[in-house]
Amino acid sequence: MRAIVRASAPILVIALAACGTDPAPGPTEQIVVREPGEATVPNVEAEDSLITIGKAAFNTCIACHGIEKGGANKIGPNLYGIIGQVAGAAEGFSYSEALASSGITWTKEELDSYIANPAAKVPGTTMMAGAITDAERREAIIAYLDSVSAN
């Protein structure tokens, strides 16, 4: 999954080193060849199922979340069986007070609105990633989570 290299002309930014000590100096020269764009989702074939797409998309989540049954919590809680659970249920994980006391039950709809923008849905959550803007991608991830838990 490689983003397309665009033929746009590089933008040259010259910034002066910041005065004082705080924060650290930025670049003395910043050449922006292109912006990352949005083309980071795999270009999935039409016949691929939602779950297959979701499994691939979930690769970006596994730095923080395990999915196997009985698996350890990592930076984020293990997500096995998440669909239908009450928020804050993973054993041994230190949830933010905000999430633990949110009273949310993770229906697919609740999960969808949460991963669309975690900080907006549950202000004070420690989940820093997420904010998946692509609705189809969210649907796929949730389908994958559901499929794993069902097994």
Between 51 and 64, CB nearer to another protein: 64
Contact by Cβ (8 Å): 67, 78? yes
Kindly state the smallest distance separating residue 125's Cβ from another protein, in Å.
11
Among 36, 46, 103, 151, binds another protein (CB under 8 A): 36
Contact by Cβ (8 Å): 125, 119? yes
Does position 32 interact with another protein (CB under 8 A)? The reply is yes
Q: What letters, b where the CB count within 10 A reaches 16 and e where it falls short, cover 90-99?
A: beebebeebb
Q: How far apart are CA 4 and CA 27, in angstroms?
A: 26
Among 51, 52, 73, 139, binds another protein (CB under 8 A): 73
Q: Please, what is the end-to-end C-alpha distance for the chain in angstroms? A: 29
Does position 27 interact with another protein (CB under 8 A)? The reply is yes
Instruction: Tell me which residues touch another protein (CB under 8 A).
Output: 2-3, 5, 10, 17, 22-36, 40, 59-60, 62-64, 72-75, 88, 91-92, 94-97, 100, 126, 128-129, 132
